[in-house]
Amino acid sequence: MVAGLSRVVRALGPIGLYAASRGLTRRHPRILMYHRFSSEPRRGFVSSGTLARQLTMIRRHFNPVTLSQLLDIWRSGGKAAPNTIVLTVDDGYRDFHDVAWPLLKRHDVPATLFVTTGFVDGELWLWPDQLAWLLESVQTLPEQVVAPPVQLQRQPGKVWNRSTVWQALVNALLRLPDGEKHSAIAALAAGLGTRLPAAPPSEYAAVSWDQLRQMQLAGLDVGGHTHSHPTLPRVADADLRLEIDHCRERLDAELGPRPRPFCYPNGQPADFSQAVRDRVEKAGFTGAVVAYADGQPHHDLYALRRHAAADSDFQYSKALSGLEWLGQRVRRMVAA
Ligand SMILES: [Zn+2]
């Protein structure tokens, strides 16, 4: 059924369906979510060729603004212009500066970048990247991968490669409190007979404060994404200050005080709570985004839904045109 619908969308999309849904959803600003960029096509990255095509589409049919601009309109009681689009990017990797930023400038499309301040400060690198690096560092993947309390064993008939093991480790470790996560990764490194470098290799490196200053001067909207990228509801009350307030303080100290939005790490429903949401608001962030869309209108400025951008033109066109949001709304109505 879904596959059938998807075939219809693929066939009709180019001849009017996207245009029709753009019209139907013109009053619902879409917030798009990106993570990583590469110059050549690469799994999990949006390549520069794809991004250039996506920005051309945005320029042709939409009204792109930064998230801070949109929040400013809403907070002053205004309405966003029809077909408003916000392009957001998470984490603060250097590839945003090297690959995406020159294209955003060329196409004159503004963007919001959410940075993990401890990552830019050089205090840490992101743990899913540490896992990827560790799995890459061994010549052959062992039949058993142990990151206590997580233990993965190769199963007959199941695909067992770096990418499937990485995904299984990420899913399992995501459920651990931060301290346990880091000791699990240290134990995994020891078990594989290797050591994590203190600073991330260039492939996993962060943007620098200097690069952020230059980009902000040229119009980039820089928001917060915590200090160390933890799962916020699992963070002790005392440490929420470091993750939320200190993140804000670092941004203001390095880039100057100004209104800034926030982005919850991982961004699924279990990754923020009422207490976390209130703390973000109290810290002075002007709004916050999650990492999923569910067909809801934007009724809470601290739980703004986002649509995943992708290297696939089909997924991208659905997200951009509003077709994905419309489909979710219809499903909500049917389920109600
Ligand atoms: Zn993130």
SS3 letters across 132-187: HHHHHHCCCCCCEEEECCEEEECCCCCCCCHHHHHHHHHHHHCCCCHHHHHHHHHH
Distance 290 CA to ligand 1 centre (A): 10
pLDDT of amino acid 5: 64
Digit-coded pLDDT (tens) for 14-39: 668 888 889 899 999 999 999 999 99
At position 156, the amino acid (one-letter code) is: P
Distance 114 CA to ligand 1 centre (A): 8
Distance 84 CA to ligand 1 centre (A): 24
pLDDT (average), residues 235-251:
94
Distance 40 CA to ligand 1 centre (A): 22
Is 3.20.20.370 the CATH classification of the domain at 2-122+202-335?
A: yes
Write the CA distances from 252 to 228, 245, 256, integer angstroms: 17, 11, 4
Report the C-alpha gap between 326 and 50 in whole angstroms.
Answer: 24
Domain ranges for the chain, please list them.
2-122+202-335, 127-191
Whether the CB-CB separation of 141 and 191 falls below 8 Å is answered with no
What six digits make up the tokens of 267?
């961004």
Distance 229 CA to ligand 1 centre (A): 6
* DSSP summary character for residue 121: T
Longest dimension (CA), the chain: 60
Distance 14 CA to ligand 1 centre (A): 33
Digit-coded pLDDT (tens) for 55-94: 999 999 999 999 999 999 999 999 999 999 999 999 999 9
Distance 111 CA to ligand 1 centre (A): 16
Q: What is the pTM of this model?
A: 0.93
Most confidently predicted of 6-10, 194-198, 232-236, 246-250: 246-250
Distance 90 CA to ligand 1 centre (A): 5
The H or E element that residue 87 is part of is: strand 84-91
Distance 314 CA to ligand 1 centre (A): 24
Peptide bond into 149 cis (omega under 30): yes
Query: Reduced to 3 states, what is the DSSP secondary structure of residue 204?
Result: helix
Distance 148 CA to ligand 1 centre (A): 24
Whether the CB-CB separation of 71 and 79 falls below 8 Å is answered with no
Distance 34 CA to ligand 1 centre (A): 10
Distance 68 CA to ligand 1 centre (A): 19
Query: For residue 315, is pLDDT > 90?
Result: no
Distance 266 CA to ligand 1 centre (A): 6
